[in-house]
Structure 1
Amino acid sequence: MTEHGDLLDFPGADELIAAGGVAPPAPEVVASAREAVASAARRDTVVVPLRGHVVPRRRRLLVAAAAVAAIAAGAVAYPVLDLGDEPAATASAAQFLNDMAEVAADTPTARTPYWKVRLETVNQDDGRRSATTFFDRAGRIWSVDADGTVHRPPAGKDSKLKKWPVGQKWLTWPALDQLPTGQKALTALFPKDAENRFDQVTILLEDSPASPALRATLFRILADTPGVRLVGDVKDSKGRPGVAVEMTRKAGFSTGPEKGVAFRTTDRYVVAPDTGLLLEATHKIRGQDLAADRYTWLEVGPAARVG
Protein backbone atom coordinates (compact mmCIF):
# COMPACT_ATOMS: atom_id res chain seq x y z
CA MET A 1 0.00 0.00 0.00
CA THR A 2 1.63 3.21 -1.17
CA GLU A 3 -0.27 5.32 1.42
CA HIS A 4 0.67 3.06 4.33
CA GLY A 5 2.91 5.65 5.93
CA ASP A 6 0.36 8.44 5.57
CA LEU A 7 -2.50 6.41 7.01
CA LEU A 8 -0.49 5.59 10.12
CA ASP A 9 0.64 9.17 10.63
CA PHE A 10 -1.62 10.04 13.57
CA PRO A 11 -1.31 10.14 17.41
CA GLY A 12 -1.62 6.67 18.93
CA ALA A 13 -0.57 4.76 15.80
CA ASP A 14 2.43 3.24 17.57
CA GLU A 15 0.22 2.01 20.41
CA LEU A 16 -2.21 0.46 17.93
CA ILE A 17 0.61 -1.36 16.16
CA ALA A 18 2.08 -2.56 19.46
CA ALA A 19 -1.31 -3.86 20.61
CA GLY A 20 -1.07 -6.70 18.11
CA GLY A 21 -3.87 -8.48 16.30
CA VAL A 22 -7.42 -9.37 17.26
CA ALA A 23 -9.61 -12.28 16.27
CA PRO A 24 -10.91 -11.77 12.71
CA PRO A 25 -14.55 -10.61 12.52
CA ALA A 26 -17.18 -12.18 10.29
CA PRO A 27 -16.75 -11.47 6.54
CA GLU A 28 -20.01 -9.53 6.31
CA VAL A 29 -18.94 -7.28 9.20
CA VAL A 30 -15.60 -6.56 7.52
CA ALA A 31 -17.40 -5.74 4.27
CA SER A 32 -19.71 -3.32 6.08
CA ALA A 33 -16.77 -1.64 7.83
CA ARG A 34 -14.81 -1.27 4.60
CA GLU A 35 -17.81 0.26 2.86
CA ALA A 36 -18.19 2.84 5.68
CA VAL A 37 -14.61 4.02 5.19
CA ALA A 38 -14.77 3.79 1.39
CA SER A 39 -17.94 5.89 1.36
CA ALA A 40 -16.14 8.66 3.24
CA ALA A 41 -13.08 8.39 1.01
CA ARG A 42 -15.21 8.84 -2.10
CA ARG A 43 -16.15 12.29 -0.76
CA ASP A 44 -12.49 13.32 -0.69
CA THR A 45 -13.00 16.38 -2.89
CA VAL A 46 -15.68 18.07 -0.73
CA VAL A 47 -14.43 21.19 1.06
CA VAL A 48 -15.96 23.62 3.52
CA PRO A 49 -14.98 27.26 4.21
CA LEU A 50 -13.54 28.04 7.62
CA ARG A 51 -12.63 31.62 8.50
CA GLY A 52 -11.62 32.44 4.95
CA HIS A 53 -9.69 29.21 4.31
CA VAL A 54 -10.64 26.09 2.39
CA VAL A 55 -10.25 23.04 4.63
CA PRO A 56 -10.51 19.47 3.25
CA ARG A 57 -13.34 17.50 4.88
CA ARG A 58 -11.65 14.17 4.23
CA ARG A 59 -10.02 13.72 7.62
CA ARG A 60 -13.13 14.62 9.62
CA LEU A 61 -15.27 12.26 7.56
CA LEU A 62 -12.72 9.46 7.84
CA VAL A 63 -12.42 9.99 11.60
CA ALA A 64 -16.13 9.30 12.04
CA ALA A 65 -16.27 6.49 9.49
CA ALA A 66 -13.20 4.74 10.88
CA ALA A 67 -14.52 4.92 14.45
CA VAL A 68 -17.87 3.44 13.43
CA ALA A 69 -16.16 0.78 11.32
CA ALA A 70 -13.85 -0.23 14.16
CA ILE A 71 -16.79 -0.67 16.52
CA ALA A 72 -18.73 -2.68 13.92
CA ALA A 73 -15.76 -4.95 13.32
CA GLY A 74 -15.29 -5.63 17.02
CA ALA A 75 -11.85 -4.04 17.06
CA VAL A 76 -10.60 -1.48 19.58
CA ALA A 77 -11.16 1.95 18.05
CA TYR A 78 -8.75 3.76 20.36
CA PRO A 79 -5.86 2.29 22.39
CA VAL A 80 -6.45 2.28 26.16
CA LEU A 81 -3.15 2.93 27.91
CA ASP A 82 -2.61 1.29 31.30
CA LEU A 83 -1.09 3.88 33.63
CA GLY A 84 -1.60 1.89 36.82
CA ASP A 85 -3.19 3.96 39.59
CA GLU A 86 -2.50 7.30 37.92
CA PRO A 87 -5.87 8.93 36.99
CA ALA A 88 -4.37 11.08 34.25
CA ALA A 89 -5.89 12.22 30.96
CA THR A 90 -4.48 9.37 28.88
CA ALA A 91 -3.09 9.93 25.43
CA SER A 92 -5.85 7.73 24.03
CA ALA A 93 -8.60 9.76 25.76
CA ALA A 94 -7.15 12.99 24.37
CA GLN A 95 -6.88 11.45 20.91
CA PHE A 96 -10.51 10.32 20.93
CA LEU A 97 -11.85 13.62 22.27
CA ASN A 98 -9.86 15.64 19.75
CA ASP A 99 -11.24 13.42 16.99
CA MET A 100 -14.76 14.10 18.29
CA ALA A 101 -13.96 17.82 18.10
CA GLU A 102 -13.40 17.41 14.37
CA VAL A 103 -16.63 15.45 13.98
CA ALA A 104 -18.55 18.12 15.93
CA ALA A 105 -17.06 20.93 13.84
CA ASP A 106 -18.41 19.28 10.70
CA THR A 107 -22.02 19.25 11.94
CA PRO A 108 -24.48 21.55 10.12
CA THR A 109 -25.54 24.64 12.06
CA ALA A 110 -29.11 24.56 13.42
CA ARG A 111 -31.30 27.50 12.38
CA THR A 112 -34.58 26.56 14.05
CA PRO A 113 -36.61 28.39 16.73
CA TYR A 114 -36.74 25.45 19.17
CA TRP A 115 -34.48 22.81 20.67
CA LYS A 116 -35.82 19.37 21.60
CA VAL A 117 -34.54 17.03 24.34
CA ARG A 118 -35.96 13.57 24.95
CA LEU A 119 -34.39 12.07 28.07
CA GLU A 120 -34.79 8.88 30.10
CA THR A 121 -33.53 8.82 33.70
CA VAL A 122 -33.12 5.95 36.15
CA ASN A 123 -32.24 6.44 39.83
CA GLN A 124 -32.91 5.01 43.28
CA ASP A 125 -35.45 7.65 44.28
CA ASP A 126 -37.65 8.01 41.21
CA GLY A 127 -37.12 4.75 39.33
CA ARG A 128 -37.38 5.05 35.55
CA ARG A 129 -38.78 8.25 34.05
CA SER A 130 -38.98 9.77 30.59
CA ALA A 131 -39.35 13.42 29.70
CA THR A 132 -39.66 15.39 26.47
CA THR A 133 -38.96 19.11 26.61
CA PHE A 134 -38.62 21.94 24.13
CA PHE A 135 -37.17 25.37 24.72
CA ASP A 136 -36.91 28.45 22.56
CA ARG A 137 -34.04 30.90 22.10
CA ALA A 138 -35.25 32.94 25.07
CA GLY A 139 -34.96 29.84 27.26
CA ARG A 140 -38.71 29.28 27.86
CA ILE A 141 -39.50 25.60 28.42
CA TRP A 142 -42.36 23.47 27.10
CA SER A 143 -42.95 19.89 28.31
CA VAL A 144 -44.77 17.24 26.33
CA ASP A 145 -46.51 14.22 27.90
CA ALA A 146 -46.34 10.74 26.42
CA ASP A 147 -49.87 11.19 25.00
CA GLY A 148 -48.80 14.37 23.19
CA THR A 149 -50.27 16.89 25.64
CA VAL A 150 -48.21 20.08 25.53
CA HIS A 151 -47.65 22.14 28.69
CA ARG A 152 -46.81 25.74 27.84
CA PRO A 153 -44.44 27.82 29.98
CA PRO A 154 -46.13 30.29 32.34
CA ALA A 155 -46.16 33.90 31.29
CA GLY A 156 -44.01 36.65 32.71
CA LYS A 157 -41.57 36.33 35.58
CA ASP A 158 -42.95 32.94 36.63
CA SER A 159 -41.50 31.32 33.51
CA LYS A 160 -38.55 29.07 34.29
CA LEU A 161 -35.68 29.44 31.82
CA LYS A 162 -33.36 26.76 30.50
CA LYS A 163 -29.74 27.65 31.32
CA TRP A 164 -26.28 26.06 31.39
CA PRO A 165 -23.36 26.78 33.75
CA VAL A 166 -20.19 28.44 32.49
CA GLY A 167 -17.95 29.42 35.38
CA GLN A 168 -20.01 31.47 37.84
CA LYS A 169 -22.73 32.28 35.30
CA TRP A 170 -25.80 30.45 33.99
CA LEU A 171 -26.35 31.16 30.30
CA THR A 172 -29.37 30.94 28.01
CA TRP A 173 -29.24 30.00 24.33
CA PRO A 174 -28.39 33.50 23.00
CA ALA A 175 -25.59 33.85 25.56
CA LEU A 176 -24.09 30.54 24.43
CA ASP A 177 -23.88 31.97 20.92
CA GLN A 178 -21.77 34.83 22.30
CA LEU A 179 -19.13 32.59 23.89
CA PRO A 180 -15.65 32.59 22.34
CA THR A 181 -14.71 29.48 20.36
CA GLY A 182 -10.96 29.84 20.75
CA GLN A 183 -9.78 27.16 23.17
CA LYS A 184 -7.67 29.42 25.38
CA ALA A 185 -10.37 32.08 25.72
CA LEU A 186 -13.15 29.57 26.37
CA THR A 187 -11.12 27.53 28.87
CA ALA A 188 -10.52 30.68 30.91
CA LEU A 189 -14.27 31.00 31.52
CA PHE A 190 -14.60 27.57 33.18
CA PRO A 191 -13.48 26.56 36.69
CA LYS A 192 -9.75 26.03 37.04
CA ASP A 193 -10.02 22.69 38.86
CA ALA A 194 -10.37 19.73 36.53
CA GLU A 195 -13.41 18.09 38.15
CA ASN A 196 -15.66 21.15 38.10
CA ARG A 197 -14.49 21.99 34.60
CA PHE A 198 -15.35 18.44 33.48
CA ASP A 199 -18.83 18.79 35.03
CA GLN A 200 -19.64 22.07 33.32
CA VAL A 201 -18.28 21.09 29.92
CA THR A 202 -20.16 17.78 29.87
CA ILE A 203 -23.41 19.51 30.94
CA LEU A 204 -23.08 21.73 27.87
CA LEU A 205 -22.36 18.75 25.63
CA GLU A 206 -25.33 16.82 27.04
CA ASP A 207 -28.23 18.86 25.71
CA SER A 208 -27.30 22.45 24.89
CA PRO A 209 -27.81 24.03 21.43
CA ALA A 210 -24.12 24.91 21.28
CA SER A 211 -22.92 25.71 17.77
CA PRO A 212 -20.65 23.23 15.95
CA ALA A 213 -17.64 25.47 16.56
CA LEU A 214 -18.46 25.73 20.28
CA ARG A 215 -19.01 21.96 20.65
CA ALA A 216 -15.70 21.32 18.93
CA THR A 217 -13.88 23.57 21.40
CA LEU A 218 -15.67 21.93 24.35
CA PHE A 219 -14.33 18.55 23.22
CA ARG A 220 -10.82 20.00 22.94
CA ILE A 221 -11.09 21.36 26.48
CA LEU A 222 -12.08 17.89 27.70
CA ALA A 223 -9.09 16.45 25.85
CA ASP A 224 -6.81 18.73 27.91
CA THR A 225 -8.56 18.03 31.23
CA PRO A 226 -6.54 15.86 33.66
CA GLY A 227 -8.28 12.79 35.07
CA VAL A 228 -10.28 11.89 31.96
CA ARG A 229 -9.80 8.22 31.06
CA LEU A 230 -10.78 6.33 27.93
CA VAL A 231 -12.88 3.22 28.62
CA GLY A 232 -13.24 2.12 24.99
CA ASP A 233 -16.00 0.68 22.86
CA VAL A 234 -19.28 0.06 24.71
CA LYS A 235 -23.04 -0.04 24.14
CA ASP A 236 -25.47 2.11 26.08
CA SER A 237 -28.59 0.81 27.82
CA LYS A 238 -30.48 0.98 24.51
CA GLY A 239 -27.91 -1.10 22.68
CA ARG A 240 -26.45 1.83 20.74
CA PRO A 241 -22.69 1.55 20.08
CA GLY A 242 -20.42 4.25 21.39
CA VAL A 243 -17.09 5.06 22.99
CA ALA A 244 -16.97 5.78 26.72
CA VAL A 245 -14.80 8.18 28.70
CA GLU A 246 -14.95 8.64 32.45
CA MET A 247 -13.64 10.58 35.42
CA THR A 248 -13.34 9.32 38.99
CA ARG A 249 -13.19 11.77 41.86
CA LYS A 250 -13.35 11.93 45.65
CA ALA A 251 -16.97 12.89 46.32
CA GLY A 252 -17.22 13.04 50.11
CA PHE A 253 -17.22 11.00 53.29
CA SER A 254 -19.53 8.18 54.35
CA THR A 255 -22.15 8.88 57.04
CA GLY A 256 -23.07 5.21 57.47
CA PRO A 257 -21.44 2.44 59.53
CA GLU A 258 -18.04 3.42 58.12
CA LYS A 259 -18.52 7.06 59.04
CA GLY A 260 -15.70 9.34 57.93
CA VAL A 261 -14.41 6.99 55.20
CA ALA A 262 -13.86 8.81 51.92
CA PHE A 263 -15.80 7.53 48.94
CA ARG A 264 -15.28 8.09 45.24
CA THR A 265 -17.69 8.43 42.35
CA THR A 266 -17.18 7.61 38.69
CA ASP A 267 -18.93 9.63 35.98
CA ARG A 268 -19.02 7.81 32.65
CA TYR A 269 -20.17 9.29 29.33
CA VAL A 270 -20.91 7.33 26.17
CA VAL A 271 -20.28 9.29 22.96
CA ALA A 272 -21.57 8.41 19.48
CA PRO A 273 -18.39 8.48 17.36
CA ASP A 274 -20.21 9.29 14.12
CA THR A 275 -21.95 12.42 15.46
CA GLY A 276 -20.13 13.45 18.64
CA LEU A 277 -23.46 13.45 20.50
CA LEU A 278 -23.61 12.20 24.08
CA LEU A 279 -25.76 9.08 24.27
CA GLU A 280 -25.70 8.29 27.97
CA ALA A 281 -24.18 9.21 31.34
CA THR A 282 -23.91 7.09 34.48
CA HIS A 283 -22.86 8.32 37.91
CA LYS A 284 -21.87 5.58 40.36
CA ILE A 285 -20.45 5.50 43.90
CA ARG A 286 -17.46 3.18 43.80
CA GLY A 287 -17.36 0.33 46.30
CA GLN A 288 -21.12 0.38 46.93
CA ASP A 289 -23.84 -1.94 45.65
CA LEU A 290 -26.16 0.91 44.69
CA ALA A 291 -26.99 0.98 41.00
CA ALA A 292 -25.64 3.91 39.06
CA ASP A 293 -27.85 6.89 38.28
CA ARG A 294 -28.37 6.83 34.53
CA TYR A 295 -29.26 9.55 32.02
CA THR A 296 -29.98 8.44 28.45
CA TRP A 297 -30.47 11.04 25.72
CA LEU A 298 -32.88 9.53 23.21
CA GLU A 299 -33.10 12.66 21.09
CA VAL A 300 -31.33 16.02 21.21
CA GLY A 301 -31.48 18.54 18.39
CA PRO A 302 -33.25 21.34 16.54
CA ALA A 303 -37.02 21.44 16.10
CA ALA A 304 -39.24 23.58 13.89
CA ARG A 305 -42.18 23.46 16.32
CA VAL A 306 -43.22 22.20 19.76
CA GLY A 307 -44.95 18.83 19.83
Structure 2
Amino acid sequence: MSERGDLLDFPGADELIAAGHVAPPAPAVVAAARAAVAGAAGAVAYPVLDLGDRPAASASAAQFLNDMADVAADSRTADAPYWKVRMETVNQDDGRMATTTFFDRAGRIWSVDADGTVHEPPAGKAGKLKKWPVGKKWLTRPALDKLPTEQKALTALFPKADDSRFEQVAILLEDSPASPELRAALFRILADTPGVKLVGDVQDSKGRPGVAVEVTRKAGFSTGPEKGVTYWTTDRYTVAPDTGLLLETIHKIRGQDIPADRYTWLELGPADRVG
Protein backbone atom coordinates (compact mmCIF):
# COMPACT_ATOMS: atom_id res chain seq x y z
CA MET A 1 0.00 0.00 0.00
CA SER A 2 2.86 2.36 0.76
CA GLU A 3 4.30 1.63 -2.72
CA ARG A 4 0.93 2.40 -4.31
CA GLY A 5 0.73 5.60 -2.30
CA ASP A 6 4.16 6.66 -3.54
CA LEU A 7 3.12 6.00 -7.16
CA LEU A 8 -0.01 8.10 -6.76
CA ASP A 9 1.66 10.94 -4.90
CA PHE A 10 1.33 13.63 -7.59
CA PRO A 11 -1.02 16.58 -8.21
CA GLY A 12 -4.36 15.42 -9.63
CA ALA A 13 -4.04 11.80 -8.44
CA ASP A 14 -7.21 12.01 -6.37
CA GLU A 15 -9.20 13.28 -9.36
CA LEU A 16 -7.77 10.51 -11.53
CA ILE A 17 -8.82 7.84 -9.03
CA ALA A 18 -12.28 9.37 -8.70
CA ALA A 19 -12.76 9.36 -12.47
CA GLY A 20 -12.63 5.57 -12.49
CA HIS A 21 -12.87 3.69 -15.81
CA VAL A 22 -12.79 5.77 -19.00
CA ALA A 23 -14.31 4.32 -22.16
CA PRO A 24 -11.83 3.75 -25.01
CA PRO A 25 -11.88 6.28 -27.86
CA ALA A 26 -13.90 5.59 -30.98
CA PRO A 27 -12.11 3.83 -33.89
CA ALA A 28 -12.23 7.04 -35.95
CA VAL A 29 -10.40 8.94 -33.21
CA VAL A 30 -7.73 6.23 -32.93
CA ALA A 31 -7.25 6.03 -36.70
CA ALA A 32 -7.05 9.80 -37.11
CA ALA A 33 -4.49 10.02 -34.30
CA ARG A 34 -2.37 7.23 -35.79
CA ALA A 35 -2.55 8.89 -39.22
CA ALA A 36 -1.43 12.21 -37.77
CA VAL A 37 1.54 10.58 -36.07
CA ALA A 38 2.36 8.62 -39.23
CA GLY A 39 2.42 11.79 -41.30
CA ALA A 40 4.52 13.73 -38.80
CA ALA A 41 6.96 11.01 -37.84
CA GLY A 42 7.59 8.92 -40.93
CA ALA A 43 4.89 6.29 -40.43
CA VAL A 44 5.78 5.65 -36.80
CA ALA A 45 2.13 4.91 -36.05
CA TYR A 46 2.02 2.19 -38.72
CA PRO A 47 5.35 0.38 -38.26
CA VAL A 48 6.97 -1.52 -41.10
CA LEU A 49 7.31 -5.21 -40.25
CA ASP A 50 9.07 -8.14 -41.90
CA LEU A 51 6.39 -10.39 -43.39
CA GLY A 52 8.65 -12.78 -45.22
CA ASP A 53 7.59 -13.10 -48.85
CA ARG A 54 5.24 -10.10 -48.65
CA PRO A 55 6.71 -6.66 -49.41
CA ALA A 56 7.73 -5.07 -46.11
CA ALA A 57 5.97 -1.80 -46.88
CA SER A 58 2.62 -3.56 -46.91
CA ALA A 59 2.69 -4.12 -43.15
CA SER A 60 2.07 -0.48 -42.24
CA ALA A 61 -0.57 -0.17 -44.98
CA ALA A 62 -2.31 -3.25 -43.59
CA GLN A 63 -2.54 -1.66 -40.13
CA PHE A 64 -4.05 1.51 -41.58
CA LEU A 65 -6.57 -0.39 -43.71
CA ASN A 66 -7.58 -2.52 -40.73
CA ASP A 67 -8.07 0.70 -38.77
CA MET A 68 -10.35 1.91 -41.56
CA ALA A 69 -12.31 -1.34 -41.27
CA ASP A 70 -12.93 -0.53 -37.61
CA VAL A 71 -13.99 3.01 -38.52
CA ALA A 72 -16.36 1.68 -41.19
CA ALA A 73 -17.88 -0.87 -38.82
CA ASP A 74 -18.49 1.88 -36.27
CA SER A 75 -20.20 4.21 -38.73
CA ARG A 76 -23.90 4.56 -39.37
CA THR A 77 -25.67 5.92 -42.46
CA ALA A 78 -29.06 7.59 -42.34
CA ASP A 79 -31.87 5.71 -44.03
CA ALA A 80 -32.94 7.58 -47.16
CA PRO A 81 -34.57 6.71 -50.50
CA TYR A 82 -31.62 7.87 -52.63
CA TRP A 83 -27.83 7.67 -52.70
CA LYS A 84 -26.01 10.76 -53.95
CA VAL A 85 -22.63 10.81 -55.67
CA ARG A 86 -21.01 14.10 -56.67
CA MET A 87 -17.58 13.71 -58.20
CA GLU A 88 -14.97 15.33 -60.41
CA THR A 89 -13.11 13.38 -63.09
CA VAL A 90 -9.91 14.50 -64.81
CA ASN A 91 -8.43 12.45 -67.66
CA GLN A 92 -6.71 12.84 -71.00
CA ASP A 93 -9.82 12.15 -73.09
CA ASP A 94 -12.47 14.25 -71.33
CA GLY A 95 -10.43 16.86 -69.51
CA ARG A 96 -12.10 18.04 -66.30
CA MET A 97 -15.71 16.95 -65.79
CA ALA A 98 -18.04 17.22 -62.79
CA THR A 99 -21.04 14.92 -62.40
CA THR A 100 -23.85 14.58 -59.89
CA THR A 101 -25.92 11.41 -59.86
CA PHE A 102 -28.54 9.86 -57.62
CA PHE A 103 -29.81 6.32 -57.60
CA ASP A 104 -32.69 4.74 -55.71
CA ARG A 105 -32.89 1.42 -53.88
CA ALA A 106 -33.45 -0.43 -57.15
CA GLY A 107 -30.37 1.21 -58.68
CA ARG A 108 -32.18 3.50 -61.17
CA ILE A 109 -30.02 6.51 -62.02
CA TRP A 110 -30.87 10.22 -62.05
CA SER A 111 -28.35 12.82 -63.25
CA VAL A 112 -28.32 16.51 -62.34
CA ASP A 113 -26.73 19.23 -64.50
CA ALA A 114 -24.70 22.07 -63.03
CA ASP A 115 -27.71 24.39 -63.49
CA GLY A 116 -29.90 22.05 -61.47
CA THR A 117 -31.70 20.39 -64.38
CA VAL A 118 -32.72 16.86 -63.37
CA HIS A 119 -32.69 14.01 -65.89
CA GLU A 120 -34.95 11.17 -64.77
CA PRO A 121 -34.32 7.54 -65.72
CA PRO A 122 -36.46 6.13 -68.54
CA ALA A 123 -39.53 4.22 -67.46
CA GLY A 124 -39.55 0.43 -67.50
CA LYS A 125 -36.64 -1.86 -68.22
CA ALA A 126 -35.02 0.64 -70.57
CA GLY A 127 -33.61 2.57 -67.63
CA LYS A 128 -29.95 2.03 -66.74
CA LEU A 129 -29.11 0.59 -63.36
CA LYS A 130 -26.04 1.45 -61.31
CA LYS A 131 -23.82 -1.63 -60.98
CA TRP A 132 -20.52 -2.62 -59.39
CA PRO A 133 -18.13 -5.45 -60.37
CA VAL A 134 -17.83 -8.44 -58.04
CA GLY A 135 -15.89 -11.24 -59.67
CA LYS A 136 -17.40 -11.90 -63.10
CA LYS A 137 -20.73 -10.32 -62.17
CA TRP A 138 -22.02 -6.75 -62.11
CA LEU A 139 -24.25 -6.28 -59.09
CA THR A 140 -27.08 -3.80 -58.54
CA ARG A 141 -27.80 -2.15 -55.21
CA PRO A 142 -30.25 -4.85 -54.04
CA ALA A 143 -27.62 -7.51 -54.83
CA LEU A 144 -25.00 -5.62 -52.79
CA ASP A 145 -27.25 -5.88 -49.76
CA LYS A 146 -27.13 -9.68 -50.08
CA LEU A 147 -23.33 -9.99 -50.12
CA PRO A 148 -21.75 -11.82 -47.16
CA THR A 149 -19.94 -9.65 -44.63
CA GLU A 150 -17.68 -12.43 -43.31
CA GLN A 151 -14.27 -11.71 -44.83
CA LYS A 152 -13.42 -15.19 -46.10
CA ALA A 153 -16.80 -15.72 -47.75
CA LEU A 154 -16.71 -12.25 -49.31
CA THR A 155 -13.14 -12.68 -50.59
CA ALA A 156 -14.14 -15.85 -52.42
CA LEU A 157 -16.52 -13.85 -54.64
CA PHE A 158 -13.78 -11.60 -56.01
CA PRO A 159 -11.01 -12.51 -58.50
CA LYS A 160 -8.18 -14.64 -57.14
CA ALA A 161 -5.55 -12.35 -58.68
CA ASP A 162 -4.45 -9.77 -56.11
CA ASP A 163 -4.48 -6.84 -58.54
CA SER A 164 -7.94 -7.52 -59.93
CA ARG A 165 -9.39 -8.20 -56.49
CA PHE A 166 -7.96 -4.97 -55.07
CA GLU A 167 -9.33 -2.95 -57.99
CA GLN A 168 -12.87 -4.34 -57.67
CA VAL A 169 -12.96 -3.92 -53.90
CA ALA A 170 -11.71 -0.34 -54.20
CA ILE A 171 -14.46 0.46 -56.74
CA LEU A 172 -17.07 -0.67 -54.22
CA LEU A 173 -15.51 1.48 -51.51
CA GLU A 174 -15.39 4.50 -53.80
CA ASP A 175 -19.08 5.18 -54.32
CA SER A 176 -21.34 2.28 -53.34
CA PRO A 177 -23.95 2.45 -50.56
CA ALA A 178 -22.43 -0.60 -48.89
CA SER A 179 -23.49 -1.22 -45.30
CA PRO A 180 -21.01 -0.51 -42.47
CA GLU A 181 -20.46 -4.25 -42.05
CA LEU A 182 -19.78 -4.74 -45.76
CA ARG A 183 -17.42 -1.75 -45.92
CA ALA A 184 -15.51 -3.13 -42.94
CA ALA A 185 -15.07 -6.50 -44.66
CA LEU A 186 -13.95 -4.78 -47.87
CA PHE A 187 -11.26 -2.81 -46.04
CA ARG A 188 -10.02 -6.02 -44.41
CA ILE A 189 -9.71 -7.64 -47.83
CA LEU A 190 -7.55 -4.71 -48.95
CA ALA A 191 -5.48 -5.01 -45.78
CA ASP A 192 -4.66 -8.64 -46.65
CA THR A 193 -3.52 -7.75 -50.18
CA PRO A 194 0.28 -7.98 -50.69
CA GLY A 195 2.24 -5.06 -52.09
CA VAL A 196 0.14 -2.18 -50.77
CA LYS A 197 2.29 0.75 -49.63
CA LEU A 198 1.35 3.35 -47.03
CA VAL A 199 2.12 6.82 -48.39
CA GLY A 200 0.95 8.57 -45.22
CA ASP A 201 -0.48 12.00 -44.56
CA VAL A 202 -1.49 13.83 -47.76
CA GLN A 203 -3.95 16.35 -49.16
CA ASP A 204 -6.18 15.57 -52.11
CA SER A 205 -6.57 17.88 -55.11
CA LYS A 206 -9.13 19.94 -53.17
CA GLY A 207 -6.84 20.43 -50.19
CA ARG A 208 -8.70 18.00 -47.94
CA PRO A 209 -6.49 16.08 -45.49
CA GLY A 210 -6.33 12.32 -45.84
CA VAL A 211 -4.08 9.28 -45.67
CA ALA A 212 -2.98 7.62 -48.91
CA VAL A 213 -2.02 4.09 -49.86
CA GLU A 214 -0.57 3.02 -53.20
CA VAL A 215 -0.51 -0.19 -55.17
CA THR A 216 1.32 -0.92 -58.43
CA ARG A 217 -0.42 -3.35 -60.77
CA LYS A 218 -0.23 -4.72 -64.28
CA ALA A 219 -2.83 -2.74 -66.22
CA GLY A 220 -2.60 -4.28 -69.68
CA PHE A 221 -0.66 -4.18 -72.93
CA SER A 222 0.24 -1.32 -75.23
CA THR A 223 -1.68 -1.10 -78.51
CA GLY A 224 0.49 1.67 -79.93
CA PRO A 225 3.93 1.55 -81.59
CA GLU A 226 5.18 -0.68 -78.77
CA LYS A 227 2.37 -3.16 -79.25
CA GLY A 228 2.39 -6.04 -76.79
CA VAL A 229 4.54 -4.27 -74.20
CA THR A 230 3.18 -4.65 -70.68
CA TYR A 231 2.43 -1.42 -68.88
CA TRP A 232 1.91 -0.84 -65.18
CA THR A 233 -0.06 1.70 -63.20
CA THR A 234 0.51 3.09 -59.76
CA ASP A 235 -2.87 3.65 -58.14
CA ARG A 236 -3.16 6.00 -55.17
CA TYR A 237 -6.19 5.93 -52.88
CA THR A 238 -6.68 8.78 -50.42
CA VAL A 239 -8.95 8.04 -47.46
CA ALA A 240 -10.42 10.34 -44.81
CA PRO A 241 -9.24 8.60 -41.61
CA ASP A 242 -12.08 9.93 -39.48
CA THR A 243 -14.84 8.54 -41.74
CA GLY A 244 -13.22 5.79 -43.84
CA LEU A 245 -14.61 7.40 -47.01
CA LEU A 246 -12.47 7.59 -50.11
CA LEU A 247 -11.66 11.15 -51.08
CA GLU A 248 -9.72 10.55 -54.28
CA THR A 249 -8.29 7.89 -56.59
CA ILE A 250 -5.40 8.56 -59.00
CA HIS A 251 -4.23 6.12 -61.69
CA LYS A 252 -0.80 6.89 -63.20
CA ILE A 253 0.84 4.80 -65.94
CA ARG A 254 4.45 4.16 -64.94
CA GLY A 255 7.17 5.29 -67.32
CA GLN A 256 4.84 7.34 -69.54
CA ASP A 257 4.12 11.06 -69.77
CA ILE A 258 0.36 10.52 -70.07
CA PRO A 259 -1.40 12.60 -67.39
CA ALA A 260 -2.83 10.63 -64.50
CA ASP A 261 -6.55 9.85 -64.32
CA ARG A 262 -8.08 11.39 -61.22
CA TYR A 263 -11.43 10.71 -59.56
CA THR A 264 -12.37 12.99 -56.67
CA TRP A 265 -15.45 12.30 -54.55
CA LEU A 266 -16.88 15.62 -53.43
CA GLU A 267 -20.08 14.34 -51.86
CA LEU A 268 -21.24 10.84 -51.08
CA GLY A 269 -24.14 9.66 -48.98
CA PRO A 270 -27.89 9.29 -48.46
CA ALA A 271 -30.34 11.85 -49.83
CA ASP A 272 -34.04 12.43 -49.20
CA ARG A 273 -34.67 13.78 -52.69
CA VAL A 274 -33.08 14.23 -56.12
CA GLY A 275 -31.78 17.70 -56.88
The TM-score range, normalised by the shorter chain, is 0.7 to 0.9
Higher RCO (CA < 8 A, seq sep 6+): 2
Name the counterpart of 1:239: 207
Per-residue displacement from partner, 1:89-127 (whole Å, max 9, x unpaired)?
A: 611010000000001111113311100000100001110
Counterparts of 1:287-302 in structure 2, within 5 Å, are 287-302=255-270
Conserved 8 A contact 2:35-2:201: no
Question: What is the correspondence of 1:135-146 to structure 2 with a 5 Å cutoff?
Answer: 135-146=103-114
Task: Give the partner amino acid of 1:282.
Answer: I
Q: Show CA shifts across 1:12-31 (max 9, x none).
A: xxxxxxxxxxxxxxxxxxxx
Given that residues 142 and 152 in structure 1 are in contact (C-alpha distance below 8 angstroms), is that contact kept between their aligned partners in structure 2?
yes
Would you say 1:185 and 2:153 are equivalent positions?
yes
Query: In the alignment, which residue of structure 2 is the partner of 1:161?
Result: 129
Q: Tell me the equivalent position of 2:184.
A: 216
Q: Do the aligned residues in 2 keep the contact of 1:93 with 1:228 (CA within 8 Å)?
A: yes
What amino acid is the match of 2:167? D
Contact 1:61 1:103 in 2 (8 A): yes
Aligned to 1:60: 27
Decide which of 224, 245, 260 is 1:277's aligned counterpart: 245
Gaps of 5+ in 2: 1-20
Distance 2:211 2:101 in 1: 26
Q: TM-score, normalised by structure 1?
A: 0.76
Separation (CA, whole Å) in 1 of partners of 2:70 and 2:191 = 12
- Shift of the alpha carbon at 1:69? 4.3
Q: Give me the CA root mean square deviation.
A: 2.3
**Is this contact kept in 1: 2:196–2:215, CA < 8 A?**
yes
Which amino acid in the other structure matches residue 252 of structure 2? Answer: K
- Residues 1-307 of structure 1 correspond to what in structure 2 (within 5 A)? 44-45=22-23, 58-67=25-34, 69-70=36-37, 74-76=40-42, 78-79=45-46, 81=48, 90-307=58-275
Alpha-carbon distance between aligned partners in 2 of 1:114 and 1:152, rounded to the nearest angstrom: 13
| TM-score, reference length from structure 2 | 0.84
Using the alignment, how far apart are the partners of 1:159 and 1:108 within structure 2? 30
**Is the contact made by 1:80 and 1:232 (CA closer than 8 Å) also made in structure 2?**
no
Q: Distance in 2 between matches of 1:182 and 1:172?
A: 20
- The Cα shift of 1:177 comes to 1.2
User: Given that residues 68 and 274 in structure 1 are in contact (C-alpha distance below 8 angstroms), is that contact kept between their aligned partners in structure 2?
Assistant: no
Structure 1 ranges of 4+ moved more than 6 A: none
The CA deviation at 1:255 is 4.1
Residue deviations 1:17-63, cap 9 Å, x none?
xxxxxxxxxxxxxxxxxxxxxxxxxx954xxxxxxxxxxx6351432
**1:164 aligned partner, one-letter code:** W
Q: Which residue identity lines up with residue 161 of structure 1 in the other structure?
A: L
Question: Would you say the 8 A contact 1:64–1:275 is kept in 2?
Answer: no
**Larger deviation, residues 92-101 vs 263-272:** 263-272
CA deviation vs aligned residue, 1:109-159 (integer Å, no higher than 9, x gap): 331110000010000111000000000000000000111111100101110
- Alignment coverage as a number of residue pairs: 252
Percent sequence identity is 76
CA distance in 2, matches of 1:82, 1:282: 27
